[in-house]
Homo-oligomer: A and B are copies of this chain.
Amino acid sequence: MIKTLTVTTRRQGLQDITTAVNRVVGEADVREGLCTLFLQHTSASLTVQENADPSARHDLEQWLNRLVPEHDPHYTHTFEGPDDMPSHIKAALTATSLGIPITEGRLALGTWQGIYVWEHRYSGDSRRLVIHISA
């Protein structure tokens, strides 16, 4: 089963999609299987992160912003704005696809794990997430 989910991001940062993906897994009615997520973009990405304390996600976002600065004089790909080239780099350093087993009809996530779309552009966008589920 394949389903495409549209995730509307409104700003740069991590957006929790765990509940939305688990809903798709529930609809697939698979007790044990594999859920593969694939994000169809190169200026946003996927990550599995701490779902409890928002300060961990805040620090992670800020750390990556410091690692991949804007207005780096080495950049030549600049015509789409100062947040575009850093977005491609951040996407390359994180994940475009994730494979998550399904047990008891749900994603087999750890207690403290959430799944996030990581928007790297300032303004957010409509992001398409392709979800493949197999038994």
Binary flags per residue of A45-67, CB closer than 8 Å to B gives 1, else 0: 00111100101101110111011
From the candidates B62, B64, B94, B113, name the one contacting A40 in the complex (CB within 8 A): B113
CA distance A40 to B68 in the complex (A): 28
Question: Is the Cβ of A34 less than 8 Å from the Cβ of B134?
Answer: yes
In the complex, chain B residues whose CB is within 8 Å of the CB of A132: 33-34, 99, 101
Instruction: Choose among B49, B88, B109, B131 the residue that contacts A88 (Cβ–Cβ < 8 A).
Output: B49
Q: Identify the A interface with B (CB < 8 A).
A: 2, 32-34, 36, 38-42, 47-50, 53, 55-56, 58-60, 62-64, 66-68, 72, 74-77, 85, 88-89, 91-101, 103, 108-113, 128, 130-132, 134
Q: Which residues of chain B come closer than 8 Å to A88, judged between CB atoms?
A: 49-50, 56, 59-60
Of A38, A66, A113, A134, most B-chain CB atoms within 10 Å: A38
Q: Complex Cα distance A95/B48, Å?
A: 9
The binding surface of chain A is classed by DSSP as mixed
Pair B38/A36 contact, Cβ less than 8 Å: no
Q: List 6 A-B contacts (CB under 8 A).
A: A2-B103, A58-B77, A59-B76, A59-B85, A66-B74, A93-B94
